[in-house]
Amino acid sequence: MSKIEVTGLSVFYGRGTVQALKEVSIKIEAKKVTALIGPSGCGKSTFLRSLNRMNDLVGAKTEGEVLVDGEDIYNGGTDVIQLRKRVGMVFQQPNPFPMSIYENVAYGPRVHARGWGNGKLKRRLDRVVEESLRRAALWPEVKDRLGESALKFSGGQQQRLCIARALAVNPEIILFDEPCSALDPVSTARVEELLRELKRDYTIVIVTHNMQQAARVSDFTAFFLLGELIEFGETTRIFEKPSDKRTEEYITGRFG
């Protein structure tokens, strides 16, 4: 079953002068990992950011249709706040807030907690924080240091904290924008392991410039080039028998 259905998506920057995406159509499966690969500037990040409308922030103009659970998120009636709660995001650079571990994870739920009783709030937040940190495989390392500043932790820990922070608002889809590009190999391996865990409960879309990573973690792969979706299919098929010559050239490292 597809969770996200994109039809004829075009995105323009700079008052419509630069076209970053050209008529992209794709169906993203629920509870699978879909990897977006391609050289820099190919539009993969733009595509990712159009799924939670983060492109709106930089004044991008969007044409086409993006359905999340059958609902067109660009039709004007969509509540962007609700959309972003359902579609979480983890960024390239770990960007924890300069607050404690606890506050980082509790930040989202606290904002969305209108209507929880005050006495209940604390207990519920404690539970959400613990559960999110457990799911992000960070709990054992930080459970005794919840009050310490997030900035004191390593890059890999910070990135898993950002994943916990995204999980805390209970999303259905999580978008990863090159989440490992600022991490060392050991941290990268831990995040990849986590991705395999998370896909049991969440639909995951990940942008990566690392083809081995795409091959390791994803079920489906989409190859972008110059704003166009060149090829999309099951990861094993894309890597073993690409049907487009450009895909084959990219995968075999002929350009990149």
Number of C-beta neighbours around residue 122 at 10 A: 12
In angstroms, what is the minimal distance from the CB of 230 to another protein?
Answer: 28
In angstroms, what is the minimal distance from the CB of 126 to another protein?
Answer: 11
Place of tokens 């994803």: 218
Q: Which is nearer to another protein, 206 or 215 (CB)?
A: 206
Residue type, 112: H
Q: Which is nearer to another protein, 18 or 151 (CB)?
A: 151
CA–CA gap between residue 79 and residue 48 (Å, rounded): 18
Q: Which is nearer to another protein, 16 or 253 (CB)?
A: 16
Q: Which is nearer to another protein, 95 or 243 (CB)?
A: 95
Q: Which is nearer to another protein, 37 or 150 (CB)?
A: 150
Q: Which is nearer to another protein, 22 or 86 (CB)?
A: 86
Dihedrals phi, psi of 166, to nearest 5 degrees: -70, -40
In angstroms, what is the minimal distance from the CB of 233 to another protein?
Answer: 29
In angstroms, what is the minimal distance from the CB of 86 to another protein?
Answer: 8
In angstroms, what is the minimal distance from the CB of 122 to another protein?
Answer: 9
Q: Is the dihedral of CA 95, 99, 105, 108 positive or negative?
A: negative
Contacting residues toward another protein, per CB under 8 A = 52, 54, 57, 81-86, 88-89, 91, 93, 95-100, 102-103, 107-108, 110-112, 147, 149, 162, 165-166, 169
In angstroms, what is the minimal distance from the CB of 158 to another protein?
Answer: 11
